[in-house]
Structure 1
Amino acid sequence: MLKLLRSALYLAWLTITVIPWALLAVILSPVLPRTKLYWFCVGWLKLSIKAATWICGVKYRVQGLENVPDARDGQAAVLLAPKHQSTWETFAMPAIMPHPLAYVFKRELLWIPFFGWAIGRLDMVHIDRSRRAEAWRRVQEQGQRLMSQGNWVIMFPEGTRTPRGSQGPYKTGATRLAIATGTPIVPIAVTSARCWPRKSFLLTPGTIDVSIGRPIPVEGRQADELMAEVEAWIESEMRRLDPEAYPANDTARTASVISATSGTKQAS
């Protein structure tokens, strides 16, 4: 009962605070530079992550932040490829990263009152997933433009949120874009479903782990085998960070996949 009450209070907090923040972002968007507008919006995300701690007891810890360029490396672009389990990482990644991010996301998010209006004013890539060829052209064109400006693009390889202890098919959109732009791809493991399951606003107290891998060079790589390496690293790290969510035989299977992926990489 206490968890339900705390989760309801947190949802109410999100709803009440996003309205004035988003309206102010829309009002300021014609006069604020894009970068300043981005950090203004990230201010709400940072407070939302803190509020999840204060109200629901959802903490987090990050390892591997040294694997991405710091804020002084303005033109050092990377492409972030995180595990996707819940809403939490969509809020947390801009709050954690030292550089503005451009999400690739489905255009339906723009229809969410207030929240969608605000993100629609930011320099991001929204796509119609029902038109795949057109969506990829938009991702490639906008992604190349953003990367050439030193921006970081973030794409969830699984495309949608997956339940704790499972994995969806890893699509090659992120590695295709990384190869097309010559941008290193950074795999990220996130155990967010431990505290905030997908399609749910019932939050459980605990600690979410975020593990950031080393950038993977893309020169001379093929999209499918590069994504296999990204998948192997993320899924192996997920099983290390959240072993109770995965059966022992699944962990062993993942280890064999990693070994096979490493062999393929060496052979190429």
Structure 2
Amino acid sequence: MLFHIAQVFAFGLGGPKAQKPVADWLNRSIMQGWLLTGSTHRFRFNYTPPTDRPLIFVANHQSMFDISPIAWYLRQYTPVFVSKIELGRGTPSVSYNLRKSGAALVDRTDPRQAISEISRLGQRLKEGACSVVIFPEGTRSRDGQPKPFAGAGLAILLRKCPNALIVPIAITGTGKFNPEGLFPLRPFTRMIWTVLPPIEPAGLTGEQVARQAQEAIFGNVPTEQSI
């Protein structure tokens, strides 16, 4: 609630540029709160993304807690998320940040609306206003095993910004930590985010890009039992 109020004041005084650092520290504080459960997180860079090219980060999806480390550790790239429309309302700080950051809030029951929202975000990517984070599974994998990636969202983004570089992120452990909704949280969970080498999308379809990203991520996501 405090961060929600702080974001409202920051946005009112200085617009998105003032609101973003507040949202960044919100995500940092969420991660610090995990320490109270005895759980740990690690963000690894097997590849350091460039700052002079549009970027699309592609990640598997295990939990709502996937998001904060991406937002914090990749903050220099101004990551903006493709998210389901339901998250745009009802959650203090989080919903406000999604709306004010310009996230693509997708209605999965309305394909036309979804295409329009992702296209709008793709245009911002092309203009250099942000990077994009997309979870091609569409919904989170509760057992930690990635689901097949869909390429439709990636295809829309690449039509708008064909020179974007695809950067996979493999996430492990968050599904074990947060198996349902916001609670319960399982203590002493080890969570890892790994930024993987990029995929050049030139000459590839959205489905082909999704398949390559899926293979890279699958190779770096162990079973929950082995974490």
TM-score interval (norm. to shorter) = 0.7 to 0.9
Matches within 5 A, 1:156-195: 156-180=135-159, 181-182=161-162, 183-191=164-172, 192-195=174-177
Runs (5+) with no aligned partner, structure 2: none
Work out the percentage of aligned pairs sharing the same amino acid.
18
Give the distance between the partners of 2:10 and 2:203, measured in 1 at CA.
44
> Which is greater in Rg?
1
Partner of 2:42: 61
Give the distance between the partners of 2:129 and 2:103, measured in 1 at CA.
14
Match of 2:191 among 194, 204, 208: 208
* Aligned partners of 1:179 and 1:219 also within 8 Å: no
Give the distance between the partners of 1:214 and 1:46, measured in 2 at CA.
25
- Give 1:217 deviation, angstroms: 0.6
Partner of 1:4: none
Structure richer in helix, relative to its length: 1
Give deviations 1:47-91, integer Å, cap 9, x for gaps.
Answer: 1101111x111211222254312xxx3x42210111110121112
Partner of 1:85: 62
Instruction: Compute the TM-score of the two structures, normalised by the length of structure 2.
Output: 0.88
* Aligned partners of 2:149 and 2:210 also within 8 Å: yes
Partner of 2:83: 105
* Aligned partners of 1:102 and 1:123 also within 8 Å: yes
How many aligned residue pairs are there? 221
Match of 1:136 among 115, 125, 133: 115
Runs (5+) with no aligned partner, structure 1: 1-18, 247-268
Task: Name the structure, 1 or 2, with higher relative contact order (CA <8 Å, separation 6+).
Answer: 2
Give the distance between the partners of 1:37 and 1:65, measured in 2 at CA.
30
**Aligned structure 1 segments of 4 or more residues deviating by more than 3 angstroms:** 242-246
Partner of 1:12: none
* Aligned partners of 1:184 and 1:216 also within 8 Å: yes
Partner of 1:5: none
Give deviations 1:109-133, integer Å, cap 9, x for gaps.
Answer: 1221423234322222212221112
* Aligned partners of 1:111 and 1:117 also within 8 Å: yes
* Aligned partners of 1:162 and 1:198 also within 8 Å: no
Instruction: Compute the TM-score of the two structures, normalised by the length of structure 1.
Output: 0.75
